[in-house]
Amino acid sequence: MLTEGEKKVLRTFRQYLMDPGRMLCFTGPMLVTHSKSLTRLVKREFLVPESFKGAYSLTQSGFEAMRTCK
C-alpha cells in the first residue's frame, strides 16, 4: 500500500509521462516536501536515485505502480 506522499511522487512522474530509466529532477521546495516519500520509494525499489542531486528514475516496478495509482 502506498502512502499519500508516495502517490503524489508517482503522479508527478506520470504528469511528465516518464518511462522506466528516464530521469526526473525534484528541486527546491518540491525536493524538500517529497524527500521522505522519495526515500521510501527508493527502499521499495520503485525509484533509483541518480548521481545528480534530486534526480530519480523509475524502475519497472515503479512504472507499474505509477500507472495504477490514483
- Residue 47 backbone phi and psi in degrees, to 5: -130, 155
CB 38 within 8 Å of CB 11: no
Contact by Cβ (8 Å): 41, 62:
yes
The Cα–Cα gap between 35 and 16 comes to: 19
In angstroms, rounded to a whole number, what is the distance separating the alpha carbons of residues 70 and 48?
A: 22
Express each pLDDT in 13-67 by its tens digit: 999 999 999 999 999 999 999 999 999 999 999 999 999 999 999 999 999 999 9
Q: What's the domain range around 29?
A: 4-68
Q: What is the CATH number of the domain that holds 33?
A: 1.10.10.10
Specify the number of domains making up the chain. 1
